Every structure is written in structure tokens, then in C-alpha cells.
Amino acid sequence: MTADVEDPNRRDILVVAASAFSAVGAASLIWPFVHQMNPDAGAQALASAEFDLAPVQEGQAITVMWRGKPVFIRHRTAEEIETAKKVALDELPDPVSRNENQPGTPATDENRTIAGHEKWLVMVGICTHLGCIPKGQTLADAKGDYGGWFCPCHGSHYDTSGRIRKGPAPRNLDVPPYTFLSDTKIRIG
């Protein structure tokens, strides 16, 4: 039987092409169903926010909202800055600055702030372990063993530069992109 047909498989291409076409089509439909869960353009819009820091006295801190996250802004005392500067890099569990304004730099106190505005420490107030909000923003809060912040969920201690010193958190607190519009006006994002 097969002998009388010139090329018995010549129509296989139709089956292969049709199957491949359907498979690719079906597979490409997966992406819309995955991507629908990602942050949409509205959520992505950076919506940079401006804040007035004039009322924040030395030693005080405020928490502002940016992108749905709390941002800690601390007006540090000279003593706090001095302590943070004295820490040697090899004492830090995370030696990277985690500063979006200067990515990849070492985690010195200088690299965690903006030159000329070192007294202001600006960080996303979310523990890099599992996302709790560390304590340390109000005067009554426990500030941990290093005088900065303390996360009550799983016991991470951050220093006065927001760097992880002790506990399960893997990274220093993130510094968001920000600029100073004037001495007391800041734009985050």
C-alpha cells in the first residue's frame, strides 16, 4: 500500500504546523494571566512626593508615605552621626550602601546620605527580613542595641545609619531615590 504512494508523509507538515501554532497560541495566553497580577501602571507611577522638613527638630523623626510604603526621615544628632561614621566596614553584615542614589557603593555613613545633608537619614521603613515596620521612630520606642531601629517581629537591630548590625535581616534598610529641593524641602521618588 505504502509503495504506491509517492511520499506518504508529505501532509504531516499540516499536522505539525497546526499543532505548533495552537501550542504557541495557547502558551502565549499564559502571560496575560500571569501579568494581570503584577503592579499596574497606576501602582507603578512613581508619584514622587514632596515633604517639608522644617518642623522636624534635631533628634526627632517623621514617617511619611511613598508608594504605599512608610519612609523614615530622621533628623540625626551630631552624636548619632559620629557613632555611625566610626563603624568600620568589616563590622557590617551588609557592606553595601543600599542607596538608590549611589548604587553599589560601600555602606559608609556618607554613602547612606546625601552630601551636605548628612544630618537627614531617609530610608524605606520596612525591615529587610520579612517586611515589618521597625520601632525607633518615636522617643519612647525601643531602638535596639545600636541606637537606631529595632524590628520587633524577629529581632533585627539597625544602627543610627539604618544598617543591619544584628538579627536575621539580610540587608541594610533601603534608601529611596530622593533630592533636596531646599535645605528643608525633600522630594522622594
Nearer of residues 67 and 119 to another protein, judged by Cβ: 67
Asked if 177 interacts with another protein (CB under 8 A), we say no
CB of 133 to another protein, least distance (A): 4
Instruction: Indicate which single residue of 60, 70, 77, 81 sits in contact with another protein (rule: CB under 8 A).
Output: 70
Q: Rg of the Cα trace of the chain?
A: 26
The residue among 81 and 153 lying less far from another protein, judged by its C-beta, is 153
Identify whether the C-beta of residue 182 lies closer than 8 Å to the C-beta of residue 47: no
Exactly one of 35, 129, 154, 157 is catalytic; which is it? 154
Does 95 help bind another protein (rule: CB under 8 A)?
no
Among 48, 105, 110, 168, binds another protein (CB under 8 A): 168
Return all residues near 116 (Cβ < 8 A) that are at least 6 apart.
180
Q: What is the number of other CB atoms lying within 10 angstroms of the CB of residue 55?
A: 9
**Nearer to another protein among residue 128 and residue 161 (C-beta):** 128
Site for another protein in 9-68 (CB under 8 A): 34, 37-40, 43, 63, 65, 67-68
Residue 93 makes contact with another protein by CB under 8 A: no
DSSP state of 175: B
- Is position 157 annotated as part of the catalytic site? no
Cα torsion for 94, 159, 97, 66, to the nearest 10°? 120
Distance, in Å, from the CA atom of 66 to the CA atom of 177, rounded to the nearest integer, reads: 11
- Near another protein by CB under 8 A, which window of 10-18, 80-88, 107-115, 146-154? 146-154
- Provide DSSP, 64-115: EEETTEEEEEEE--HHHHHHHHH--GGG-S--B--BTTSTT-B--HHHHS-T
Q: Which of 144, 161, 178, 177 is nearest to 89 (CA)?
A: 161
Site residues, another protein (CB under 8 A): 34, 37-40, 43, 63, 65, 67-70, 126, 129-135, 151-155, 168-170
Active site residues: 154
